[in-house]
């Protein structure tokens, strides 16, 4: 091995032994948890002697993003305790957070559900909550932010577009009204109910189909005759299409298509009126005014009898039974 190979090997060895890697837990030492929350996510880190052992990062949903900063920081603590409770049961540990009011969680009056939930999760654990300034809490802060970038910040390499959208764009050239709408919306900003987005005309946030019969038939077939459409009736099919698409005389087109559907014409559906609410039976005013009768059959013969007639009074719940043959 020459000097160049030896230098490369030493450089590689030094890089491997000095790179920041996760350590194994040592249960003879105290654990430290650092937590942080941002607008989009929460992050927690489990450490010992300043060296990371494990970390967890979680994005917040639309409902959780509307919580206050105090509640999000509580959520970060709950996340850490849920993940690493087996480690934390061994001995005392420290929770570091940049929400200063959380250090008084044990001795303050609990007013919010998040305070009750956090204190319940921490019961039975020997812990201490310490305040750590946000600018010093870099590891947990990075976990709560960088892993949950906005969708607008991502760069798409390729985009999948259905083929029928390309057919729809091509059909605008053969529709005078749609062609005029394209020209007007391309020159000036949207006005009224029509708008233009990526070459597709929208009417009240619904895709404008125009007068293209082929596209209309594809939509009707997909939302009525397909397994997803289930050959629904006129009203159900119309409302399903109306939520997504728009074109002139839409309801008439749906009525004509459904009325000419051979499967719908062959199907027989129940035309009976829907039953109303159950009506309670009248309560009798005295005994033995209303009785119920029932036979218990299939019994072996006893004194020439093989069944029992049971009579029950509705008012007193009295029962009278007699043999029958």
Helix and strand numbers (H, E) in the chain are 11, 12
First to last CA, the chain: 110
Residue 155 CB neighbour total at 10 angstroms: 4
Task: Please give the share of the chain, as a percent, with pLDDT higher than 70.
Answer: 85
Secondary structure (DSSP) of 20-57: --PPPP-TTS-EEEEEEE-SSEEEEEEEETTEEEEEEE
- Write down the mean pLDDT value for the chain: 80
CATH 3.40.225.10 fits 163-266, yes or no: no
Residue ranges of domains in the chain: 31-148, 163-266, 291-324
pLDDT tens-digit map of 285-306: 888 888 889 998 888 888 888 8
194 within 8 A of 182, measured Cβ to Cβ: no
Return d(Cα 224, Cα 319) in angstroms, integer.
58
Return d(Cα 23, Cα 152) in angstroms, integer.
36
pLDDT value for 149: 47
pLDDT at position 324 over 50:
yes
163-266 shares the fold of 31-148: no
Going by pLDDT thresholds of 50, 70 and 90, the confidence category of residue 148 is: very low
Residue 55 makes CB contacts below 8 A (sequence gap 6+) with 43, 44, 45, 46, 139, 143
CATH number of 31-148: 3.30.420.10
- pTM above the 0.85 mark? no
């Amino acid at each position: 091995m020459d000097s160049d190979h030896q230098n490369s090997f030493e450089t590689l060895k030094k890089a491997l032994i000095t790179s920041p890697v996760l350590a194994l837990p040592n249960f003879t030492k105290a654990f430290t948890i650092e937590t942080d929350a941002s607008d989009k996510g929460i992050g927690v880190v489990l450490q010992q002697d300043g060296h990371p052992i494990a970390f967890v990062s979680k994005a917040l949903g639309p409902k959780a993003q509307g919580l206050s900063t105090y509640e999000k920081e509580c959520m970060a603590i709950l996340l850490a305790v849920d993940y690493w409770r087996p480690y934390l049961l061994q001995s005392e540990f420290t929770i570091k957070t940049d929400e200063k009011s959380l250090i008084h969680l044990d001795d303050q009056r609990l007013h919010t559900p998040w305070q009750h939930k956090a204190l319940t999760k921490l019961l039975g654990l020997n812990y201490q909550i310490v305040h750590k300034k946000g600018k010093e809490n870099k590891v947990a802060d990075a976990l709560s932010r960088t892993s949950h970038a906005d969708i607008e910040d991502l760069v798409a390499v390729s985009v999948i577009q259905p083929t029928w959208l390309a057919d729809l764009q091509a059909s605008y050239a053969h529709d005078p009204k749609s062609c005029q709408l394209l020209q007007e919306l391309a020159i000036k900003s949207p006005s009224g109910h029509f708008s233009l987005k990526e070459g597709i005309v929208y009417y009240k946030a619904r895709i404008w189909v125009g007068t293209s019969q082929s596209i209309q038939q594809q939509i009707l077939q997909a939302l009525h005759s397909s397994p997803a459409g289930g050959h629904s009736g006129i009203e159900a099919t119309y409302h399903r299409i109306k939520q997504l698409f728009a074109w002139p005389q839409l309801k008439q087109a749906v009525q004509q298509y459904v009325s000419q559907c051979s499967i719908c014409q062959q199907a027989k559906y129940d035309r009976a009126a829907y039953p109303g609410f159950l009506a309670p039976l009248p309560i009798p005013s005295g005994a033995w005014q209303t009785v119920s009768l029932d036979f218990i059959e299939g019994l072996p013969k006893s004194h020439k009898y093989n069944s029992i007639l049971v009579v029950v009074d509705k008012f007193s719940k009295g029962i009278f039974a007699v043999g029958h043959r």
